[in-house]
Amino acid sequence: MATYAIGDVQGCADALQRLLDSFGFERSRDRLWFVGDLVNRGPDSLATLRRVKDLGERAVTVLGNHDFHLLAVAAGHAKMHRSDTLDQVLAAPDRDELLAWLRQRPMLHVEGTWAMVHAGLLPQWSIAGARLLAQEVESALRGPGWREFLAELYGDKPDTWSEHLRGPDRLRVIVNAMARMRFCTAQGTIELRTKGETAKAPPGFFPWFDAPGRASRDHTLVCGHWSTLGLKLRPDLLALDSGCVWGGSLSAVRLEDRKLYQVPCKQCQVPGK
């Protein structure tokens, strides 16, 4: 049995199948971890969702910003962007079933010394603390008031974590960190405008995984989200977004021995277009 962590698929169902074939995925014995952003920008979000959902307990996926966007659009609390490719999902006969399944996905997945999150964790958050914060969001998204939660989801403020935050502000900061963040300060302030490489960090900000005093360093973090960072593999980090939807590659790492697998991807989107 092996566990393969897979980068942002973003609706590139063909690339996903080729990646699974490259390491000989066997449903009866292997497990797949998806870092989030199963959907959007690529050509076949519907097939991707159906495939991962069908895997049942053989697949674990955490929620990414594009997954949240699909849920918010479906709930009527966000507008489609020009580059969105969500129409097939929204028009599908099994739309409600797929969206209900997506709402049940976790924000953070932890096994042993591994922890998987879509974007990152703030430096103050230990893994145990982050699990509790993730559960707050999961409860809101899975509960009867999930539409109201999504109505309050969007926004960049507050931009600094505090244990004193309550209500929608508290949940928004948790989601922004776990699903959108790239740069932050050592004090837990999030910067969401800059999307470039680590050298482009604004003054006083760090790539979240290099923030001083990061309390989650006792685990290896598995993440995606940051295509301009590219594949980054080090003892405490597997950053797996290698730009599949931009014509890069789709990447997987076998956790047992950290062997890397990649397949080239057809460009589906042009940056800035």
Tens digit of pLDDT for each residue in 222-248?
Answer: 999 999 999 999 999 999 999 999 999
Give the span between the Cα atoms of 128 and 121, in whole angstroms. 12
pLDDT (0 to 100) of residue 273: 56
The pLDDT, as a whole number, for residue 32 is: 98
pLDDT tens-digit profile of 9-34?
999 999 999 999 999 999 999 999 99
Question: What is the average per-residue pLDDT within 36-57?
Answer: 97
Q: Identify the pLDDT of residue 266.
A: 86
Contact 184, 123 (CB under 8 A): yes
Q: Are strands 31-34 and 249-254 parallel, antiparallel or unpaired?
A: unpaired
* Cα–Cα distance for residue pair 49/209, rounded to 1 Å: 29
Neighbours of 34 (CB within 10 A): 30
CA distances to 1, 98, 136, 177, 230 from 146, rounded to whole Å, are: 36, 15, 12, 19, 33
What tokens were used for 96? 């409600």
Question: Is the pLDDT score of 261 beyond 60?
Answer: yes
pLDDT at 200: 82
pLDDT at 148 over 60: yes
Token pair of 78 as six digits: 């966000």
CA 1 from chain centre, in angstroms, equals 24
For 66-126, the DSSP string reads: HHHHHHHHHTTSSPPPTT---HHHHH-TTHHHHHHHHHTS-SEEEETTEEEESS---TT--
pLDDT score of 272 more than 70: no
pLDDT at 179: 98
Q: For residue 67, count other CB atoms closer than 10 A to its CB.
A: 24
d(CA 168, CA 44): 32
In the predicted structure, residue 199 carries a pLDDT above the cut 90: no
pLDDT at 198 over 90: no
CA-wise closest residue to 232 among 210, 213, 215: 210
128: Cα separation from own chain's centroid = 19
Which amino acid appears at position 237 of this protein? L
Which pLDDT score is estimated for 174? 98
Instruction: Reply yes or no on whether the pLDDT at 185 is more than 90.
Output: yes
Q: In order of start, what are the domains of the chain with their CATH numbers?
A: 3-264 (3.60.21.10)
- Is residue 268 pLDDT above 90, yes or no? no
Angle CA 39–130–253, to nearest 5: 50
- Is the overall model pTM greater than 0.85, yes or no? yes
pLDDT level of residue 124 (50, 70, 90 thresholds): very high
Mean pLDDT, the chain, whole residue set: 96
